[in-house]
Amino acid sequence: MDAFTSNLLGWLCVGVTTLFGVSVFYTAKRSPAEKANLLLWSLLPTLLGLLCVAMLGTGGGLVVFCTMCLISVYLGNRALLPVGDKAVLITGSDTGIGHALAKHLDDLGFVVIAGVLNKDGPGAEELRRTCSQRLSLLQLDVTNATQVKEAYLKVSAKVQDTGLWGVVNNAGILGLPADGELIPMSTYRQCMEVNFFGAVELSKTFLPLLRKSRGRLVNVSSMAGGIPLPRYAAYGASKAALSMFSGVMRQELSKWGVKVAAIHPSGFRTGIQGTADLWAKQEKELIENLPADTRQDYGEDYLLELKSYLLHMPLYCDANLSPVLGAILHALLAKRPQGLYTPGKGAYMPLCIFCYFPLWVYDFFISKMLSPKSVPRVLRTSEAASKDL
């Protein structure tokens, strides 16, 4: 190895060592318990780098040191804070992810405040029956400003000694998945009211408590909130708005010590698609609000197939919610939580294709994954006519 290469590797080693030391210094919390260890943890990377270079030479020492830095960062990201008496508010705990999360956090020893749409419903009753006395139920419709304010007063009174550690904005609705042209404006508005405006108002209301505790704000978005998916124009737009809100709040609240995370799960069986009665109501509303020419172009059979899509949706979803629960738990307790979590099979791959490949590659990929079985009547007629020619 010539002198130039040796000097270059030496300076590179010093640079990596310094960068790692500065990052440790920057991310270290300024609590009294950690101030005493701050200098030690800043010096250790430098000493380790010098030791590696002295024993293994510049090249080998740099490789070993960088590997150990990566391992250290990985282990640091996995480190979790103790549960202690941390209180967490969860919205949408009647069913699905919110219901399972309330049970999971209760089992781990959290003080769970489960917001439910119906305090006398079966989901609330099951939480009363199966969870500990630490869990309390809260009547909470996130679109009802009065209920949100009342919830703030009740939660403030309950956690005045321990403080509120976390808020999980989980409440959400799907609406009837359909082509964006077919979805009624009422569905667009309802998705925005529940999935976005409800989460924003709840966050703004409870942020004084989170700032006081330097706690966590976790927003459950969706894979459809990060990438465009056919038939999810209303739902995806509302979740995309929530994801953007999460990103901005993550930046703005960092100065207060509040950490914000967005969860983008893939397909999980949560019951968000609703019941048969709800589907019939949504389908009726969709058809009644369509202009005559649009209804004719798409065809009655295409519109009826939308219900079939809902019926088969659970077959392609994972019934095991543990990846989502694990991601939310990490966002609540990790010393250095991620800003974005993508739990579930296939959640990260479409996001990578969408972000790093030309859009036509993503569109082709999605068309092969989510191609609808039926085709609008006019397009079928056009295809048949072209074949006859």
pLDDT of res. 353: 86
Which uninterrupted H or E stretch holds 113?
strand 111-116
pLDDT of res. 30: 41
pLDDT of res. 267: 77
Give the number of residues written for the chain: 389
Question: Does residue 178 have a pLDDT over 80?
Answer: yes
List, as one string, the DSSP characters of 181-208.
Answer: TTS-HHHHHHHIIIIIIHHHHHHHHHHH
Q: Given pLDDT bands bounded at 50, 70 and 90, which one contains residue 17?
A: low
- At 340-364, the pLDDT tens digits run 999 987 777 888 888 888 999 989 8
pLDDT of res. 273: 62
- What is the CB-side half-sphere exposure of residue 65 using CA atoms within 13 A? 31
- At 299-336, the pLDDT tens digits run 888 877 777 776 666 666 677 889 999 999 999 999 99
Asked if residue 140 lies in contact with residue 121, where contact means CB atoms within 8 angstroms, the answer is: no
pTM of the model: 0.78
Query: Looking at residues 356-375, what average pLDDT do you find?
Result: 81
Q: Given pLDDT bands bounded at 50, 70 and 90, which one contains residue 237?
A: very high
d(CA 240, CA 221): 8
Query: Looking at residues 280-292, what average pLDDT do you find?
Result: 80
DSSP-derived secondary structure letter, 93: -
Which CATH code of 3.40.30.10, 3.40.50.720, 3.40.50.1820, 3.30.470.20 fits the domain covering 87-369? 3.40.50.720
Asked if residue 116 lies in contact with residue 140, where contact means CB atoms within 8 angstroms, the answer is: yes
d(CA 147, CA 137): 13
The least confident of 36-40, 54-58, 62-66, 281-285 is 36-40
Q: What are phi and psi of 174, to 5 degrees?
A: -100, -40
Q: Dmax of the chain from CA atoms?
A: 84
Quote the tokens at residue 246: 């999460």
Give 366 or 161, the one with higher predicted confidence. Answer: 366
Question: Does residue 127 have a pLDDT over 60?
Answer: yes
Query: 74, 188, 235, 302: which one is catalytic?
Result: 235
Question: Does residue 126 have a pLDDT over 90?
Answer: yes
Question: Does residue 259 have a pLDDT over 60?
Answer: yes
CB contact set of 124 (below 8 Å; sequence gap of 6+): 93, 94, 114, 116, 118, 137
CB contact set of 37 (below 8 Å; sequence gap of 6+): 28
Q: Given pLDDT bands bounded at 50, 70 and 90, which one contains residue 386?
A: low
- At 219-235, the pLDDT tens digits run 999 988 999 988 899 99
Q: Given pLDDT bands bounded at 50, 70 and 90, which one contains residue 12?
A: low
Does residue 281 sit in helix, strand or coil? helix
* Average pLDDT of the chain to the nearest whole number: 82
Question: Does residue 67 have a pLDDT over 60?
Answer: no
What whole-number percentage of the chain has pLDDT above 90?
48
d(CA 96, CA 53): 53
pLDDT of res. 376: 84
Q: How far is CA 276 from the centre of its chain?
A: 27
Q: What are phi and psi of 162, to 5 degrees?
A: -90, -25
Question: Does residue 146 have a pLDDT over 60?
Answer: yes
The least confident of 29-38, 307-316, 352-361, 374-383 is 29-38
Query: Looking at residues 142-169, what average pLDDT do you find?
Result: 94
Question: Does residue 198 have a pLDDT over 50?
Answer: yes
Backbone torsion region of residue 335, taken as left when φ is above 0, otherwise alpha when ψ lies between -120 and 50, otherwise beta: alpha
pLDDT of res. 268: 74
Is residue 26 part of the annotated active site? The answer reads: no
Question: Does residue 137 have a pLDDT over 50?
Answer: yes
pLDDT of res. 72: 47
Query: Looking at residues 198-217, what average pLDDT do you find?
Result: 97
Q: Given pLDDT bands bounded at 50, 70 and 90, which one contains residue 148?
A: very high
